[in-house]
Amino acid sequence: MSFTKKIQIDTSLAGILKIIIPLILSCLSSNLMFLVDRFILMRYSLDAMNAAMLGGNLAGFYVFLLMAITGTTEIFVGQYNGAGKYDKIAAPVWQMIYLVMFAAIFYIPIGYFSDYLNLIPEYYAKDGIAYQQLLTYFCWLPGLAAAFMGFFVGRGQTKIIVAIVILGNLINAVLDYSLVFGCKGIIPSSGCKGAAMATIIAEVIQILILAASFWSSKNRHHFHTAKNYKFDKELFGKCLKVGLPMSFGRGAELLAWYLVYAALSHVSKDLATVHGIATTVYVLIAFICDSLAKGTAAISANFIGKKDLTSIGMVLKKLTILTLILCFTFMFPLLISPRLFCGILGSINEDITHLYPTLSIIFKIQFINITIESQCAIFWGTLISGGDTKYLNITNLICLWSFVVLPVALLYAFNMLNSAVLVHLLSTCWISSCLLLVYRRYKSLKWYKSVIY
């Protein structure tokens, strides 16, 4: 069997799972990195966790502004792979490497002025700003990793991604504990700064491995990864055309959640803690949405390259069933025993038992929201595979700001923001309306006319 045949993608359940399962494990592992950070900081200090959540949210806003663009490599690679244009596969990766180099110059001054660019309450300011500043200086690293990952994901070669992300998590976990708490007589305790340093070191190691694999002798031979390094103005423009709407959309979404979290934090520490814990659970379970969107985009892009619309429909039906199974499997423990997660929190050195009833209600709402969002992710990934990103992001932002941000802002302005449960109920309205509109777009087939290669 030739090398090119090994990377073909089909509609069989085995073929779909071959792409989806590694991405599920990869996204789960990626989210676990954030979860480990939060739990270790929670044991260190509840205030440190909340501070890192606030500072990290804003740093995440900067990360995804770039990452949403560089992640488009998997779309271009997928379409080139499906069309059999293997000699062009490495070119979009190089264009995004140049973009990251250019963007890194601007992130340094943004990090320097972190003292002024935040909405962190005074009682969280010291730890939160330090965490935000350090991550912001290096927030171009995830964008570079996404550019390299697209080369492998777009061709269905996802095993290496899983291995790299798991390795990164192990390194992050060990460094997290060592740097946050310190080692007596060897490493001083660094708190939030230590958590940020651990994340940065893990990301650097992941990128080095990805780069080495990208430029391996096999990939240099089959995909010309060392030859297609020239700056291609036309291809660079196409990447921006697809990626910029996603960048602005994703950035505005993260900014919206940052504002919501900041509003809750300014009302009371209890609201900040409840929302912080609920967000931590969401980050863990959200790997379902992330993996389904990425997997659907990679698979659909290959079939678009082949001009095969029928196969895309077959894939979506199977993914819908898989979505329901995944959501039920991973959220069921929280439904039957919401105190299971709350019990884990008992290891922290502060009493938050009075928050357990509220968290139990929120976990149930989250089950509904994540199930809806996962279904939305399938259609989202399909539209992205055709380069139809403007509609997606405009729709998402209109729904999010209308159903969540504006109501929260009004409640805060009139001193009526006193429930984190309400925020999650508003989120149900947001994601439900988004699913309806994205599904209608999918049925219209306008996305299929937006092929990009």
CA distance 98 to 104: 10
Closest CA to 199 of 42, 94, 63, 50: 63
DSSP-derived secondary structure letter, 11: S
How far apart, in whole angstroms, are the C-alpha atoms of residue 409 and residue 435? Answer: 24
- Residue partners of 282: CB distance under 8 A and separation at least 6: 366, 370
Number of neighbours of residue 197 by Cβ within 10 angstroms: 19
* All structural domains of the chain with their residue ranges: 5-449
Residues 6+ apart with CB under 8 A from 126: 51
Q: How far apart are CA 31 and CA 24, in angstroms?
A: 11
d(CA 325, CA 451): 31
Cα(225)–Cα(294) distance, rounded to whole angstroms?
23
Burial letters for 23-53: b for 16+ Cβ neighbours within 10 Å, e otherwise?
bbbbbbbbbbbbbbbbbbbbbbbbbbbbbbb
Report yes or no: 242 and 389 within 8 Å, Cβ to Cβ.
yes
Query: Looking at the DSSP assignment, which residues form a beta bridge with residue 187?
Result: 183
CB 120 within 8 A of CB 40: no
Torsion (CA) 207, 212, 218, 223 in degrees, nearest 10: 50
Q: How far apart are CA 209 and CA 148, in angstroms?
A: 10
Are 95 and 30 a contacting pair, CB within 8 Å? Answer: no
Q: How many whole angstroms separate alpha carbon 212 and alpha carbon 415?
A: 54
Helix (H, G, I), strand (E, B) or coil at 145: helix
Query: pLDDT tens digits, the chain, 453 residues: what are they?
Result: 334 444 556 667 777 777 777 767 666 666 677 777 777 887 888 788 888 888 888 888 888 889 889 988 988 998 888 888 888 999 999 999 999 999 999 998 999 998 887 888 887 888 888 899 999 999 999 999 999 998 998 887 878 888 888 898 889 989 998 999 988 778 888 888 999 999 999 999 999 999 999 999 999 998 999 988 999 999 999 999 888 888 888 888 888 998 999 999 999 988 988 888 888 778 777 777 877 887 888 788 888 878 888 888 888 888 888 888 888 887 777 777 656 665 555 455 566 778 888 888 898 898 899 889 988 989 988 988 887 888 888 999 999 999 999 999 999 999 999 999 999 999 999 999 999 999 999 999 888 765 555
| SS3 per residue for 100-137 | HHHHHHHHHHHHHCCCCCCCCCHHHHHHHHHHHHHHHH
If one counts every other C-beta atom within 10 angstroms of the C-beta of residue 13, the result is 13
